[in-house]
Structure 1
């Protein structure tokens, strides 16, 4: 129950959303179990009733957001052959990094125990960024099938290059306004412009 006596419908999602707000607003160092429960507007013990400890909570948060990325991947793959390659990638990268992906990556990098738990759960590389690169590579491969990316383009190199460049662009903005669409488009064009074909 919430302090007001109203039942909490989806406690996990409420706590995840609260953690993202704390991360986005106050940064990694401010993210504590107490900060999350205060932000969520629930009793102090609620988080520990649903998760073994705070790192277990954080691991579930990251895995949940990776699941959301996989859902986005379907939309990106379906966009292959429509619009323009640069516009599709710009929109996807803005959506990904305009959320809390930058803060989640910083969180993963800052907590050894969290990284260990994510590795144990099967996550490789830098969680979220690794999955984003895989999603991007799959999209670029689909665009190759449509003839809109050169057949000899190395999508397995282009994809992580795009993700890394976009991550740096958005991370540099910090908690201020995110980069303008034109800035993201410029990065995407610089990385894939040489392999994009008309059509």
Structure 2
């Protein structure tokens, strides 16, 4: 690796390499050697920027979770526009892209990684899913205040139900399923979202 490359460039190169390994081979194949080989750099590059491999993985997960902040801002900006169910379905579909699904699997797969993340973050839940649930809860609260869903809606519980259902729909799909007709997956998400939100959407009209 050429000298003088900024630390953020090295981190990003390693993160992208780790995501490729995860997508192609799964969490069991993710080792420091696999990451540096995929990135085309010497093994020492990873340890130059991270104390150990689990520290690297923790930062990989945090980096992915941080991206949800950008999605959350866009989702909350859509409050009052379009349909509530449609906005949520789009957000859930975007959230559970193959990399996010693979990273959730990684957190579940590695006990040490999960413990390290909980030592510096919430002591419950799974990173990425926890942030995603907060994102949906905030959006649904906004829509409740706008009168587009029932004023007494339990937005936190609705968000948990939506994230749990979304994860079940996408779990194990680390690559797009070419055997399914185009749009089928989006339709599945739409049906689930409509079912979860049906009561609060109907009650706001009463």
Distance in 2 of aligned mates of 1:54 and 1:174: 22
Q: From the superposition, tell whether residues 138 and 57 of structure 1 become closer, same or farther in structure 2 (CA, over 3 Å).
A: same
Aligned structure 1 segments of 4 or more residues deviating by more than 4 angstroms: 5-9
CA displacement at 1:196 relative to structure 2: 2.0
Q: Secondary structure at the match of 2:200?
A: coil
Q: For 1:92 and 1:46, how far apart are their aligned partners in 2?
A: 36
> 2:158 maps to what in 1?
158
Distance 1:59 1:192 in 2: 34
1:25 & 1:6 partners in 2: Cα distance? 31
For the residue of structure 2 that corresponds to 1:83, the secondary structure is: coil
- Whether 1:137 aligns to 2:137 is yes
- Report what 2:181 is aligned to: none
Q: Which residue of 2 aligns with 1:35?
A: 34
User: Offset at 1:99?
Assistant: 4.0
TM-score (norm 2): 0.88
The Cα offsets for residues 118-177 of structure 1, whole Å up to 9 and x where unpaired, read as: 011113321111111111100000011111111121111110000000000001545452
How high is the TM-score relative to the length of structure 1?
0.91
Query: CA–CA distance in 2 between the matches of 1:100 and 1:93?
Result: 14
The answer to whether residue 22 in structure 2 is matched with residue 23 in structure 1 is yes
Q: Residue 82 of structure 2: SS of its match in structure 1?
A: coil
Residues 96, 166 of structure 2: 8 Å contact kept? yes
* Gap runs ≥5 in structure 2: 179-183
Aligned length: 197
Q: Could you tell me which runs of 5 or more consecutive residues in structure 1 were left unpaired when the two chains were aligned.
A: none
Aligned equivalents of 1:93, 1:84: Cα separation in 2: 14
Distance in 2, Cα, partners of 1:52 & 1:174: 29
Structure 2 residue matching 1:195: 3-state secondary structure: helix
Give the drift of 1:107: 0.8
Deviations 1:33-72 (A, max 9, x none): 1111122122221111110110000001111111111221
Residue 111 (1) aligns with residue 116 (2):
no
Q: Which residue of 2 aligns with 1:182?
A: 187
Structure 1 match to 2:90: 91
